[in-house]
Amino acid sequence: MGFEIQMPCIDFTKHPEDLVEGSEGWKNLCKLVREGGEVYGGFQVVYDKIPVELHEKMFQGSKSLFDLPLETKQKSSDDSKSHNGYAGKFKFAPLYESLTLPNPHNLEEVQAFTDTMWPKGNQSFCETVNNTSKMMTELEQIIRKMIFQSYGADTNCDSLVKDSWNIFRFTQYKAPTGKEMEVGLPAHVDKNLLTILYQNEEGLQIETKEGEWLPAVVKDCTFTVFVGEAFKTWSNGKLHAVEHQVMMKGPQKDRYSYGLFSIPNESPKERDEDDLPLLFCRLDHHDYDLFTYTNNTSALCCNCGKMCMPSLCYH
Ligand SMILES: O=C(O)CCC(=O)C(=O)O
Ligand SMILES: [Fe+2]
């Protein structure tokens, strides 16, 4: 892993056999991933199973998505479902807009989202998103498995991997017009298990435990991974839920990112064999919501004034 000036980066592509479960290479990666999760809570992974051309199509698709009229984008919000729809026009993040869809590996869900955005159809967008998210789900499951196994949780590993669902989020950050650095997305911690992001421009940073901000590099096949609060809870505080933010330098290109967020179906249970006292009470994941999962502005916390949940202030 490379440290200090940028986020740690773990290469999954050095030897193809490293991704064979149980191999020496796999065990070595398990250690690196666990260390990245415990020390930083955020790291990058080089993973080349998703072709660069597919990422290019995703960015083209993102651009045409955000170019749609605001009222069309707002149609993606469905009150009967959690974690979906349009978010943007926030006073505290004027450059930011996002669109979130649940269960992106499910073709019908992606088709419904696509049909709402493009009533005349956009089959290429629908297939591209569905395929990319399936492959990002595979990457998320590899990383999650590596962490579980590094804690010796092999036996219930499969059920832990299965006991979650995903959302997929497209985000656009408009380039600031002035030369000043501007906040794209204020510092926050994700609430879910793991976040896997891909981006076309720089700006994403994580905060180290020492309070230093480390940038994520933008490179082909390089994903950014964050540990969220649900995973920190599962690990009884061993994994670090990392604070991260997006800072936009102007005048530059608009920034696009897309990410897969895994969410536990139930409150994560700490490891049975762990004899440390529980540091966190069990969370009911459905009881709280991160601002980016919602399309309202109520996420400015009345306790700390920052972006977090008033009911679960973590600052
Ligand atoms: O756009 C990015 O790179 C970060 C997005 C993010 O942190 C989030 O949606 O929670
Ligand atoms: Fe985030």
pLDDT bin (cut points 50, 70, 90) of residue 215 is very high
- What is 9-275's CATH number, 1.10.287.1260, 2.60.120.330, 3.60.21.10, 2.40.440.10? 2.60.120.330
CB 101 within 8 A of CB 108: no
Listing DSSP states for 131-199 in one string gives: HHHHHHHHHHHHHHHHHHHHTT--TTHHHHHHSEEEEEEEEEEPPPSSSSEEEEEEEEE--SSEEEEEE
Confidence of residue 105 (pLDDT cuts 50, 70, 90): very high
Residue whose CB lies within 8 A of the most ligand 1 atoms, among 171, 172, 183, 307, for a mutation test: 171
Q: What confidence score (pLDDT) does residue 247 get? A: 96
* Token pair belonging to 275: 């004899």
Q: Is the pLDDT of residue 256 over 50?
A: yes
pLDDT computed for residue 160 by the predictor = 60
Is the interface score ipTM higher than 0.90?
Answer: yes
pLDDT beyond 90 at 79:
no
Q: What is the mean pLDDT of residues 242-262?
A: 93
Return the structure tokens found at 162.
């299965």
Spacing, Cα 159 to ligand 1 middle (Å): 27
> Which is it for strands 9-11 and 42-46: parallel, antiparallel or unpaired?
parallel
pLDDT of residue 116 exceeding 90: yes
CA 118 to chain centroid: 25
Identify whether the C-beta of residue 187 lies closer than 8 Å to the C-beta of residue 92.
Answer: no
Res 305: pLDDT: 53
pLDDT at 258: 98
Q: Does the pLDDT of residue 306 top 80, yes or no?
A: no
Q: Is the pTM for the entire model greater than 0.80?
A: yes
pLDDT at residue 313 above 70? Answer: no
Q: Which pLDDT score is estimated for 250?
A: 78
Residue 190 beta carbon below 6 angstroms from any ligand 1 atom: yes
Strand order in the sheet with 164-173: 9-11, 42-46, 222-227, 194-199, 255-264, 164-173, 93-102, 85-90
pLDDT at 234 over 90: no
Where residue 159 falls among pLDDT bands split at 50, 70, 90?
low
pLDDT at 114: 97
* Boundaries of every domain in the chain: 9-275
In whole angstroms, what is the distance from residue 309 CA to residue 274 CA? 29
Q: Alpha-carbon distance 81 to 101, whole Å?
A: 10
Terminal CA-to-CA distance of the chain, rounded, Å? 29
Residue 295 has pLDDT above 70, yes or no: no
Nearest CA to ligand 1 atom 1: 257
Half-sphere exposure for 198 (CA within 13 Å, toward CB): 27
34 lines ligand 1 (CB under 6 A): no
- Residue of 204, 294, 308 with the most ligand 1 atoms within 8 Å of its CB, for mutation: 204
